[in-house]
Chains A and B, each alone.
Chain A
């Protein structure tokens, strides 16, 4: 009798609990959906209005692809896109190498001056980009290095990129790469490396055969972060570039000054597509390497 009561009470309780759980789960999913909607709303609007048959980016006037045609004809935009890509690629490569070395030193050694280097490595992350941009501007102005252009052929396109821009980008990217790679290093098990040390007894081979493959997700993550930051940077590029040099964000800024036309939306939509492809590729690559994928950048 009391047993049956208890059982009934229990089952009711568990049913209640289940219901409650489902309810909260539903609410939660709803929240998740809304959260993502918030993130995507401006992007969706941006893409829609890239097809707007009017100069306006607020009132719909019919479908057109003319802004894409106009964009493709705009040499300035195309050139600035190449500039952006070049700066991002070069500064990513440099900062990934330098930053990874720094991360190894910081995570694997105890040495004199470590605390100081720690601060020096963290500062560029802490300092707001406007301050950093101004520091670099004054520095380049005073020292007289940097504004002269580096003339290159990049995939057959003639570019003239001021050294100052690349120097600035590397200066802030090193820190971000170092942070991401260090996070990965800190998670890594030393046991494997020690075993390898015993096996090969050659630090060089140990590094390339054991440490590096394990570190790779961190390096890829750092590289992705650096590349993104570089492509997106406006403030530092704006202050440190000399005459006639535009990256895409700087170009967009000066275009926006004369009103936002759907041409800018068209550029952004294409950029979005491009990065989606890039993400897909990096996803496929990292799937092959490690199941964790590129580690998320955390401090």
Chain B
């Protein structure tokens, strides 16, 4: 022990020593690459790709490219019926392996961390924009995806990807409030969160999404501001509202909030419409509403990262075409209870699904919904304020 104590005492000094020693040793590794300037399309094709053949987009068009036998689909969990994979494999022989993430930020961090090998990813609208800006997506070869025509016209020209150059809209939905209709009144305003009533049974039994942009969007919409504001004053107000809400929350949760409503642990939750519908299977008392101030509308998209090999890209495009088929699109919607952007698939969906206001909100509600959009430099402002909310007592 004694000897080790002496050794440990000198640890600090020695660390410095070791650092300088390794500094000499390791200089070639951390050498700054002059190419990495901010505006530069970072990591479009990282050097990681050595073992694979060519990585340039040109050979993609070459007819001799054969689809990969297996592709990895980086998806939100429980977002696709596993039967779709089986059907696709039966038809094409291509195996689809699924891997999951739980927030757009996580998806982007993983891609920026140099993770390669994903052939398909499912970013939401504003993340698509960020990915396109960084040249991290491969343009689609539309000849390979004839079923693109099945998309409803308004989904063929979305602000983040006009003309579907990079992405195929997958599902769309809204962010609002889910609640236990048997235990609490229908919340008609975001005030249930941002002006919480300590005498309400839901006080201390509510969750909000653990997602900076979604949480701020809710607060900003409550305050009557633009959900994508970069105005520091408005954000400060929203931050205060979020801190007020925190006292009434049992936690921030993006993953299991609907189960916690079903089990009765919580009575109210900020979340995505389809999730609450899924939980209705377990507990029919779960209801969903979009407050009078409005809510968030979002579109999730399937895209191909720029790091794919031509073989993977071809297989991925085949899969995209497959899920755009009317019957497959209907199958997906019936599995995850989200609305489909696929016009042709709607014909295959049951009438009560199409008329469910939770899935397809009425026109006057849609008018009050806002997209979350990239805010560029202000992103760090959001993150910092989010940290402040999290650190508040």
Contacts and interface: CB of A to CB of B under 8 A. Distances in A.
- Find out whether A and B make contact in their complex, taking CB atoms under 8 A apart as touching: yes
Interface of A: 55-56, 58-59, 76, 115-116, 118-120, 122-123, 137, 139-144, 147-149, 239, 241-246, 254-260, 299
B18 interface: yes
Given A116-B18, A259-B255, A122 B8 contact: yes
B280 to A, nearest CB: 14
Contact of A243 (B50, B51, B72): B72
B99 interface: yes
Interface of B: 4, 7-8, 10-11, 14-15, 17-18, 21, 29-30, 46-48, 50-51, 72, 74, 77-78, 97-102, 112-118, 255-256, 259, 263, 282
Contacts of B30: 142
Given A55-B282, A258-B78, A144 B114 contact: yes
A32 to B, nearest CB: 27
A58 B259 CA distance: 12
A141 B255 CA distance: 28
Nearest to B73: A244
A299 B46 CA distance: 41
Nearest to B71: A244
Contacts of A254: 77, 99-102
Chain B interface, DSSP helix/strand/loop, else mixed: mixed
A144 B10 contact: no
A116 B116 contact: no
Contacts of A241: 115
Contacts of B99: 243-246, 254
B14 A115 contact: yes
A56 B263 contact: yes
Contact of A144 (B14, B15, B46): B46
Contacts of B263: 56, 58-59
Contacts of B14: 115-116, 118-119
Contacts of B46: 141, 144
B48 to A, nearest CB: 5
A76 B98 contact: yes
A258 B17 contact: no
Contacts of B72: 243-244
A243 B15 contact: no
Nearest to B307: A243
10 contacts: A59-B263, A137-B113, A141-B114, A144-B48, A148-B51, A242-B116, A244-B72, A244-B118, A257-B256, A299-B4
B8 A257 contact: no
A149 B118 CA distance: 13
B48 A239 contact: no
Given A119-B18, A142-B29, A144-B48, A244 B78 contact: no
